[in-house]
């Protein structure tokens, strides 16, 4: 009995150690959204990159539940540079298989999605020193309808992640 408890304890400690060891992470923060993400609600992140010479991968992270009823997701992501430049992208992500099964990781009804923002096609360098502001809002529309989805259900958290590249 004692031996099995020791083995279990060592397994748990090892698992926690591996989970907390994320050497690529530079910045990784989430913000909760209310039960319904309003189309005018902007989730903002302030990022202070460690340098202006190395390349990074940037991701939008999302947590969603089974209440998310679409197979894709449109986001408007805006990055404001420290010296005034702003870039705005409208991005589309696949959120479900054709069968309706939600994509992402997770063992419960909450799925976590790590979605590419910058760095996957060409290296992204924070070439200005200072604080960058990243603003994210949804831009969902239903097929055949002009007006967008006012309140998007099923998204629980929106995050932003910066990682070192593996180069």
Distance, in Å, from the CA atom of 48 to the CA atom of 82, rounded to the nearest integer, reads 10
Distance, in Å, from the CA atom of 74 to the CA atom of 60, rounded to the nearest integer, reads 12
Report the pLDDT averaged over residues 71-90: 96
Q: Which domains does the chain have, with CATH numbers?
A: 24-164 (2.60.120)
3 vs 128 pLDDT, higher one: 128
Quote the percentage of the chain above a pLDDT of 90.
54
21-62 pLDDT tens trace: 568 889 999 999 988 999 999 999 999 998 888 999 999 999
């Amino acid at each position: 009995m004692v031996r099995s408890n020791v083995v279990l304890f060592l397994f748990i400690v090892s698992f926690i150690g591996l989970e907390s060891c994320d050497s690529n992470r530079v910045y990784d923060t989430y913000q909760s959204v209310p039960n319904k993400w309003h189309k005018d609600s902007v989730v903002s992140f302030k990022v202070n990159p460690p340098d202006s010479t190395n390349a990074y991968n940037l991701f939008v992270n999302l947590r969603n539940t089974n209440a998310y009823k679409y197979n894709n997701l449109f986001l408007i992501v805006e990055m404001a540079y420290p010296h005034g430049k702003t870039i705005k992208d409208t991005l589309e992500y696949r959120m479900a298989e054709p069968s309706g099964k939600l994509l992402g990781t997770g063992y419960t009804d909450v799925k976590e999605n790590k979605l590419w923002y910058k760095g996957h096609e060409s290296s992204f360098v924070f070439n200005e020193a200072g604080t960058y502001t990243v603003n994210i809002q949804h831009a969902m529309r239903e097929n055949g309808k002009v007006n967008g989805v006012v309140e998007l259900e099923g998204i629980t958290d929106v995050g932003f992640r910066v990682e070192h590249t593996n180069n």
